[in-house]
């Protein structure tokens, strides 16, 4: 079990690549950088294949339990320093290991992350060949692979969160790769900050789980959840799962935290392909699937997940109908498809959701890489209004993108048909048809998806050429390093769906079978909550039986895809310069709202960031800053100034008191009194001779009178 | 014709005395003040002589006490005038003035 025992090597290989780029990437030649970084990922992929193969044999011998390898104890210990009490009063030890878990779920993610990552690394050799910062790009890309692999292979929530944060960081670094452009720098900030909001939810959810379960390891949490310890609808479990879902919304761009993904297209196209299509945005889906035991215990959370997923799907699809930048269309398409995945998870169809992640990784990565190839051919032009009639000039790109478009629209037998159809079928039948309205939302979204994807194809590859002459002159097919991954991904988009060939069409659905141990299908534990028996196993929620309704719905899905294709063809197949959008012609206000993305970013600017003032008031974070600044300059400084003023007033008062009262009355008073009272006494010694004579005379007269009249 | 009794002499003496006192108190020149003092003394003399004459009329010609006393006073007045003038000269040597207002070295 060589590969299994050394499973920690898989994330370590790209980590070494990143470290080497960090330390001496600058001095290396481009060829050396490619060899190190791309080689690391190729090795990681081969290693991953070996590990998964060995896991299948191991699992067969060990009752399909997950394989866990703990390398060392990272946080916590058994000396009891990090103990706390759980919800039911029992003491627990907080421990997070650097441990790796391999089970069917992480195997699938491991294979497509390393596989698609490898193809994108190879593609980037050609795409970034003429760009500056070559070593920096590959260093960040490798760092991303390391973080994503840590996230996938972690055996506990804390280590997963390390990977979670790492991919967020790499997303920031890579979106802002052309940091000299302000728009790129702003987009990077936006991505990281919006992600962070989700991370807050994730952390709170983790705290809840620690408090509820006494452990952060997935195995422990799943075991406790399935043991009947918690009742269905337990409020704390609901809270924990809702908070985890908030984290997933941030990372996987669901409403209302999706706003960073379209802006993230500022990064180089391989970044959009890897991070924002195939891997990072699926981290939220992975996390929810990993926590399926908890989610199954909280029907409210599941409903929330399903509703948010469906609404996101249709919302993003509607915006994608009118966008003119080729990458923006694909970005909104990603948000929309992620909505499908969460819809699947929310209705309990976990395997279908994971299957859609798997197929989506291939065709979405292919679409983005193809778009990159188109942009490369068009010398940097990204606006579809300036493209047209490229199919004969860049045939490989054209054919591969066409295959991907068939896949995403859900046209059989391409990959997307099987996964999307499975999701829609599960939505229709789940919980006895409670989610039929969500099925309808998903159905309309499928129609829209087909429409905007074929619009992309028609405007780019068909219709009349609308580009300038110099650009037309330079159109050329991309080099082999770019076209080879396209071909490989096209093959996967064609055949990957066969892994999940449904029962209704005679297949064995090997994909879902593979995932059975993860979602505990066939091991239903019955819980008696108030005498009722309920199902706890996630897998049990998926319908096993086929019926004629399924064929009808399948037909409707294909019809929707076909209708979307036909409508796009009618509107855009012959589009020439200055072509009119059908939505703009029929309903201009609707077109404006969609083109401006429902003004959500502006709304956030008013309410949450405070970049725009509402009247005279500034709300949001900047409003808080403004309010604090106002408080500081008026209240705090006012108090300081007031203290100073008071001191001066008291001093003035004091000096007045001292000058007029103390000096005036206290000191001068007795003096004046003494002078006044001494006046008569002074007269005795006046110094005037005649005055003395007068006094003598007066005294004499007085004596005479006294003697005469007495 | 008015009968001149002792009253008239006494009134005259009083008036002279009063004039002398007023002169002492109000005159500026020191010499005049000394003269006023002399006037006071002489008024007293007049009084004494008048009373002596009156007593002679009552108690015989040997009752000349008043007149004798008047001689004493004349002598006294002479001595006093000498001393006073001596003071005046000493004062004048210091201050070069005979203005009594300027005797004010002890004035506060």
User: Which 3-state string (H, E, C) describes A103-149?
Assistant: CHHHHHHHHHHHHHHHHHHHHHHHHCCCCCCHHHHHHHHHHHHHHHH
Residue closest to A125 by CA, chosen among A243, A13, A41: A41
Q: Retrieve residue A232's tokens.
A: 């269905």
**Mutation test of the interface with chain A: which of B20, B22, B23, B24, choosing the one with the most A Cβ atoms within 10 A?**
B24
pLDDT at A86: 77
Find, in chain A, the residue whose alpha carbon is nearest to that of B99.
Answer: A689
Taking residue A288's Cβ as centre, other Cβ atoms within 10 Å add up to 26
Q: Retrieve residue A450's tokens.
A: 């087909």
Residue of B25, B103, B108 lying closest to A682 (CB–CB): B108
pLDDT at A2: 79
* Cis previous bond, A63, omega within 30: no
Residue of A682, A685, A697 lying closest to B21 (CB–CB): A697
Residue of B21, B103, B108 lying closest to A689 (CB–CB): B103
Coil, strand or helix at B100? helix
Mean pLDDT, chain A, whole residue set: 86
Chain B neighbors of A688, CB-CB under 8 A: 101, 103-104, 107
What is the number of helices (H) and of strands (E) in chain A?
A: 31, 6
Chain B neighbors of A687, CB-CB under 8 A: 103-108
Find, in chain A, the residue whose alpha carbon is nearest to that of B21.
Answer: A697
For residue A522, pLDDT over 60 is answered with no
For residue A187, pLDDT over 80 is answered with yes
What is the per-residue pLDDT across A9-45, written as a single tens digit (0 to 9) for each? 899 999 999 999 999 888 888 888 888 999 999 999 9
For residue A649, pLDDT over 50 is answered with yes
Q: Looking at the complex, does the CB of residue B99 fall below 8 Å from at least one CB of chain A?
A: no
Q: Retrieve residue A329's tokens.
A: 């269309």
pLDDT at A123: 92
Q: Which residues of B27-41 are buried (b: 16+ CB within 10 A; e: fewer)?
A: beebebbbbbbbbbb
Determine the straight-line distance between the first and last CA of chain B, rounded to whole angstroms: 58
Coil, strand or helix at A596? coil
The verdict on a CB contact (< 8 Å) between A693 and B24 is yes
The verdict on a CB contact (< 8 Å) between B107 and A688 is yes
Q: Looking at the complex, does the CB of residue A654 fall below 8 Å from at least one CB of chain B?
A: no
| Distance to chain A for B24, nearest Cα, Å | 7
What is the per-residue pLDDT across A445-486, written as a single tens digit (0 to 9) for each? 999 999 999 999 999 988 888 878 878 888 888 888 888 999
Q: Which residues contact A187 (CB under 8 A, 6 or more apart)?
A: A175, A176, A260, A263, A264, A265, A266, A267
For B64, counting Cβ atoms within 10 Å of its Cβ (0-12 exposed, 13-18 middle, 19+ buried), the class is middle
What is the per-residue pLDDT across A559-594, written as a single tens digit (0 to 9) for each? 999 999 998 888 888 877 777 788 888 888 888 888
User: Which 3-state string (H, E, C) describes A302-342?
Assistant: HHHHHHHHHHHHHHHHHHHCCCCEHHHHHHHHHHHHHHHHH
| H-run or E-run covering B57 | helix B30-59
Find, in chain A, the residue whose alpha carbon is nearest to that of B26.
Answer: A690
Q: Which residues contact B47 (CB under 8 A, 6 or more apart)?
A: B9, B10, B13, B17
Chain B neighbors of A698, CB-CB under 8 A: none
Q: How many CB pairs under 8 A join A and B?
A: 29
The mean pLDDT value for A48-65 works out to: 88
Model ipTM value: 0.84
Q: Which long-range contacts (CB under 8 A, 24 or more apart) does A187-190 make?
A: A187/A260, A187/A263, A187/A264, A187/A265, A187/A266, A187/A267, A188/A266, A188/A267, A190/A259, A190/A260, A190/A263
Q: Which long-range contacts (CB under 8 A, 24 or more apart) does B50-53 make?
A: B50/B6, B50/B9, B50/B10, B50/B13, B51/B6, B53/B6
Q: Which residues contact A679 (CB under 8 A, 6 or more apart)?
A: none
Q: Which residues contact A634 (CB under 8 A, 6 or more apart)?
A: none
| H-run or E-run covering A36 | helix A30-61
Percent of chain A residues past pLDDT 90, beyond the cut: 40
Residue closest to A545 by CA, chosen among A386, A425, A650: A425
Residue closest to A3 by CA, chosen among A62, A69, A64, A65: A69
Q: Which residues contact A40 (CB under 8 A, 6 or more apart)?
A: A13, A14, A16, A17, A142, A145
pLDDT at A679: 85
The verdict on a CB contact (< 8 Å) between B101 and A688 is yes
Residue of A686, A687, A693 lying closest to B25 (CB–CB): A693
**Mutation test of the interface with chain A: which of B26, B98, B108, choosing the one with the most A Cβ atoms within 10 A?**
B108
Angle at A254 between CA A251 and CA A256, to 5 degrees: 105
pLDDT at B44: 96
Q: Looking at the complex, does the CB of residue A697 fall below 8 Å from at least one CB of chain B?
A: yes
The verdict on a CB contact (< 8 Å) between A687 and B106 is yes
Is the Cβ–Cβ distance between A99 and A90 less than 8 Å? no
Q: Looking at the complex, does the CB of residue B103 fall below 8 Å from at least one CB of chain A?
A: yes
Relative orientation angle of helices A283-290 and A326-346, to the nearest 10 degrees: 10
Find, in chain B, the residue whose alpha carbon is nearest to that of A692.
Answer: B25
Q: Which residues contact A404 (CB under 8 A, 6 or more apart)?
A: A363, A364, A366, A367, A370, A489, A490, A493
More confident residue, A533 or A414: A414
What is the per-residue pLDDT across A611-623, written as a single tens digit (0 to 9) for each? 888 877 888 888 8
Q: Looking at the complex, does the CB of residue B82 fall below 8 Å from at least one CB of chain A?
A: no
Chain A neighbors of B21, CB-CB under 8 A: 697
Find, in chain A, the residue whose alpha carbon is nearest to that of B101.
Answer: A688
For residue A190, pLDDT over 60 is answered with yes
pTM tops 0.90 = no
Chain B neighbors of A697, CB-CB under 8 A: 21, 24-25
For residue A537, pLDDT over 60 is answered with no
Residue of B25, B100, B107 lying closest to A697 (CB–CB): B25
Q: Retrieve residue A10's tokens.
A: 């898989």
Relative orientation angle of helices A436-461 and A415-429, to the nearest 10 degrees: 160
| Distance to chain A for B8, nearest Cα, Å | 21
pLDDT at A688: 81
| Distance to chain B for A704, nearest Cα, Å | 14
Window from A166-180, A280-294, A388-402, A513-527 with minimum mean pLDDT: A513-527
Which pLDDT band holds residue B15 (cuts at 50, 70, 90)?
very high
Rounded Cα gap, residues A264 and A276, in angstroms: 8
Residue closest to A382 by CA, chosen among A268, A551, A537, A517: A268
Percent of chain A residues past pLDDT 70, beyond the cut: 95
For residue A541, pLDDT over 80 is answered with no
Which pLDDT band holds residue A626 (cuts at 50, 70, 90)?
confident
For residue A527, pLDDT over 80 is answered with no
Q: Looking at the complex, does the CB of residue A498 fall below 8 Å from at least one CB of chain B?
A: no
pLDDT at B70: 96
Is the Cβ–Cβ distance between A275 and A151 less than 8 Å? no
Window from A328-332, A430-434, A509-513, A518-522 with minimum mean pLDDT: A518-522
Residue closest to A277 by CA, chosen among A373, A363, A397: A363
| Distance to chain B for A702, nearest Cα, Å | 15
pLDDT at A524: 42
Find, in chain B, the residue whose alpha carbon is nearest to that of A686.
Answer: B107
Chain B neighbors of A693, CB-CB under 8 A: 24-25
Q: Looking at the complex, does the CB of residue B29 fall below 8 Å from at least one CB of chain A?
A: no
Rounded Cα gap, residues A557 and A538, in angstroms: 26
pLDDT at A544: 52
| Distance to chain A for B105, nearest Cα, Å | 7
Find, in chain A, the residue whose alpha carbon is nearest to that of B106.
Answer: A687
For residue A602, pLDDT over 90 is answered with no
Radius of gyration of chain A (CA): 39
| H-run or E-run covering A68 | strand A67-75
Coil, strand or helix at A83? strand
Residue closest to A374 by CA, chosen among A351, A399, A354: A399
| Distance to chain A for B98, nearest Cα, Å | 13
Rounded Cα gap, residues A414 and A407, in angstroms: 5
Q: Retrieve residue A577's tokens.
A: 């310069």
Chain A neighbors of B103, CB-CB under 8 A: 687-689
Q: Looking at the complex, does the CB of residue B19 fall below 8 Å from at least one CB of chain A?
A: no
pLDDT at A433: 67
**DSSP states along A186-254:** HHHHHHHHHHHHHHHHHHHHHHHHHHHHS--BHHHHHHHHHTT-SPTT-HHHHHHHHHHHHHHHHHTT-
- What are the φ/ψ torsions at residue B60 (nearest 5 degrees)? 90, 170
For residue A540, pLDDT over 60 is answered with no
Alpha helices in A413-528 (DSSP H): 415-429, 436-461, 469-474, 480-495, 510-514, 516-519
């Amino acid at each position: 079990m060589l590969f299994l025992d050394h499973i920690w090597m898989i994330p370590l290989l790209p980590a070494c690549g990143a470290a080497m780029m960090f330390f001496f990437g600058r001095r290396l030649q481009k060829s050396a950088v490619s060899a190190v970084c791309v080689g690391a990922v190729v090795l990681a992929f081969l290693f991953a294949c070996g590990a998964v193969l060995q896991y299948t044999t191991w699992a067969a011998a060990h009752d399909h339990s997950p394989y866990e390898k703990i390398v060392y104890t990272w946080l916590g210990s058994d000396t009891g320093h990090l103990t706390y009490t759980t919800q039911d009063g029992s003491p627990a030890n907080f421990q997070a290991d650097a441990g790796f878990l391999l089970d069917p779920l992480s195997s699938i993610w491991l294979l497509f992350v390393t596989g698609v990552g490898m193809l994108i690394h190879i593609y980037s050799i050609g795409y970034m060949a003429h760009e500056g910062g070559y070593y920096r790009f590959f260093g960040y890309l490798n760092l991303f692979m390391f973080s994503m692999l840590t996230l996938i292979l972690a055996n506990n929530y804390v280590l997963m969160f390390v990977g979670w944060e790492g991919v967020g960081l790499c997303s920031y670094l890579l979106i802002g790769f052309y940091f000299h452009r302000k728009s790129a720098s702003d987009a990077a900030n936006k991505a990281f900050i919006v992600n962070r909001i989700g991370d807050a939810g994730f952390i709170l959810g983790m705290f809840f789980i620690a408090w509820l379960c006494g452990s952060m390891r997935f195995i422990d949490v799943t075991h406790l959840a399935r043991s009947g310890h918690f009742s269905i609808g337990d409020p704390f479990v609901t809270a924990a799962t809702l908070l985890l879902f908030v984290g997933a919304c941030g990372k996987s761009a669901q409403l209302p935290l999706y706003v960073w993904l379209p802006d993230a297209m500022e990064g180089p196209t391989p970044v959009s392909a890897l991070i924002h299509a195939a891997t990072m945005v699926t981290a939220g889906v992975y996390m929810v699937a990993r926590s399926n035991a908890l989610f199954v215990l909280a029907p409210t959370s599941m409903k929330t997940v399903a509703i948010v997923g469906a609404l996101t799907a249709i919302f993003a699809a509607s915006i994608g109908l009118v966008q003119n930048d080729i990458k923006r269309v694909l970005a909104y398409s990603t948000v929309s498809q992620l909505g499908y995945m969460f819809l699947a998870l929310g209705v309990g169809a976990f395997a279908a959701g994971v299957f859609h992640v798997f197929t989506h990784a291939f065709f979405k990565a292919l679409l983005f890489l193809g778009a990159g190839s188109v942009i490369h051919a068009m010398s940097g032009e990204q606006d579809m209004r300036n493209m047209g009639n490229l199919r004969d000039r860049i045939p490989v790109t054209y054919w591969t993108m066409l295959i991907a478009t068939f896949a995403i629209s859900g046209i059989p037998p391409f990959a997307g048909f099987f996964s999307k159809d499975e999701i829609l079928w599960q939505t229709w039948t789940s919980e006895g048809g409670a989610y039929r309205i969500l099925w309808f939302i998903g159905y309309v979204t499928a129609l829209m998806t087909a429409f905007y994807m074929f619009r992309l194809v028609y405007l780019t590859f068909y219709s009349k050429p609308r580009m300038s002459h110099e650009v037309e002159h330079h159109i050329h097919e991309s080099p082999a390093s770019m076209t080879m991954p396209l071909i490989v991904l096209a093959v996967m988009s064609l055949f990957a769906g066969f892994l999940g060939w449904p029962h209704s069409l005679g297949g064995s659905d090997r994909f879902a079978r593979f995932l059975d141990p993860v979602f505990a299908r066939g091991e239903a534990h019955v819980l008696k909550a108030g005498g009722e028996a309920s199902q706890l196993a996630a897998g049990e929620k998926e319908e096993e039986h086929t019926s004629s309704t399924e064929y009808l719905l399948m037909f409707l899905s294909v019809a929707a895809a076909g209708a979307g294709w036909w409508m796009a063809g009618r509107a855009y197949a012959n589009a020439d310069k200055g072509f009119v959008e059908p939505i703009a012609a029929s309903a201009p206000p609707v077109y404006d709202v969609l083109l401006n993305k429902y003004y959500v970013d502006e709304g956030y600017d008013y309410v949450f960031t405070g970049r725009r003032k509402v009247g005279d008031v500034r709300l949001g974070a900047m409003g808080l800053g403004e309010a604090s600044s106002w408080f500081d300059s008026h209240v705090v400084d006012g108090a300081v100034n007031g203290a100073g003023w008071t001191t001066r007033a008291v001093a003035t008062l004091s000096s007045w008191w001292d000058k007029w009262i103390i000096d005036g009355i206290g000191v001068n008073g007795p003096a004046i009194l003494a002078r006044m009272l001494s006046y008569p006494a002074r007269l005795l010694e006046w110094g005037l001779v005649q005055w003395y004579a007068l006094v003598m005379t007066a005294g004499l007269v007085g004596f005479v009178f006294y003697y005469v009249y007495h | 014709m008015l009968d001149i009794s002792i009253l008239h002499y006494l009134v005259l003496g009083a008036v002279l005395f009063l004039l002398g006192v007023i002169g002492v108190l109000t005159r500026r020149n020191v010499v005049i003040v000394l003269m006023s003092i002399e006037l006071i003394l002489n008024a007293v003399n007049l009084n004494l002589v008048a009373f002596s004459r009156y007593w002679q009329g009552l108690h015989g010609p040997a009752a000349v006490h008043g007149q004798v006393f008047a001689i004493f006073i004349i002598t006294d007045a002479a001595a006093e005038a000498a001393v006073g003038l001596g003071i005046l000269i000493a004062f004048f040597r210091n201050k070069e003035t005979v203005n009594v207002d300027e005797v004010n070295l002890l004035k506060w």
